[in-house]
Amino acid sequence: MGFFLETLTGGLMAGMLYALIALGFVLIYKASGVFNFAQGAMVLFAALAMARFAEWLPKLLGFESRLLANLLAFVCALAVMAAVAWAIERLVLGKLVNQEGITLLMATLGITYFLDGFGQTLFGSDIYKIDVGMPKDPIFVLESFFEGGVLLNKEDLYAALIAAALVAVLSLFFQKTGTGRALRAVADDHQAAQSIGIPLSRIWIIVWSVAGFVALVAGIIWGSKLGVQFSLSLVALKALPVVILGGLTSVPGAILGGLIIGVGEKLSEVYIGPLLGGGIEIWFAYVLALLFLLVRPQGLFGEKIIDRV
């Protein structure tokens, strides 16, 4: 039982990180109708910015405090992601308003490859580390209930708590603030929102900036766990099955989809993997997403599309 709980909690913690990245997809799709294939590249770009600024700023300004370096690096990386969001909206997507969905998707694919290449040019192509002070030592819990207790990784636990807190804050932002309500109005009907004075371009810059902030937090967490390398954008694409499962327009769906996939891939790898030779964790999420596309293409919480003729 203890081993099962270890696997279950590991899956839940991984699922919260998937949900955090999936939020970037959901936020942009809700506000603009654009499926942002570049979200994985944004996670990588943000992580590179954070890692390199944390390395450059102490040398440039002449101090040794790691905490100060991380704080300044976070602020600088956040400014960079806001600038990226502004440039994407102004120079690319703002020029493609009312175009076909496939046109917008191809535009985000182009943004993906541009960010990958520009990130390598700007920040370098080595493997960098992000050290924000999260403890990496494991701990044992529930020792009085199970022999030997349940082993948890402190870093995974803290990362999951940070992701959960950010998800909660973003949910409140959408539900309780004027800007959040404006974003939801734009998501429901662009033309109606514009007719009552909501400026679409400003809303889209805000939502891309928020998605950039989400990408930065996700990049810091994953970069701390795995190191900042160009395979990080592939890890971020694990969020694609999450949004398919939960629904492209649903914040709760992104959360639940992330938890389902995180738990499902861990349990399947541990209990079914040995029977099939392993490797289930790599493809489990995509097979589950494919099954949902066949049975319920709008996802668990997505809005069912009804065409009237």
Average pLDDT, the chain: 82
pLDDT class for 48, splitting at 50, 70, 90?
Answer: very high
Residue bearing the bigger pLDDT, 92 or 140: 92
**Whole-Å CA distances, 78 to 54, 203, 268:** 13, 18, 37
Mean pLDDT is lowest, of 94-103, 131-140, 183-192, 283-292, for: 183-192
Residue 301 resides in a domain? no
pTM recorded for the entire structure: 0.86
Burial of 35 (0-12, 13-18, 19+ CB in 10 A): middle
Residue 306 confidence (pLDDT): 55
Residue 308 resides in a domain? no
pLDDT class for 81, splitting at 50, 70, 90?
Answer: very high
Residue 307 resides in a domain? no
Longest Cα separation, the chain: 68
Residue 72 resides in a domain? yes
Mean pLDDT of 83-111: 83
Residue 167 resides in a domain? yes
Closest among 162, 168, 193, 163 to 178, alpha carbons compared: 193
pLDDT class for 221, splitting at 50, 70, 90?
Answer: confident
Residue 302 resides in a domain? no
Residue 236 resides in a domain? yes
Residue numbers of the domain that contains 243? 2-295
| Share above pLDDT 90 across residues of the chain, in percent, rounded to a whole number | 11
pLDDT class for 293, splitting at 50, 70, 90?
Answer: confident
> How many domains would you assign to the chain?
1
CATH number, domain with residue 242? 1.10.3470
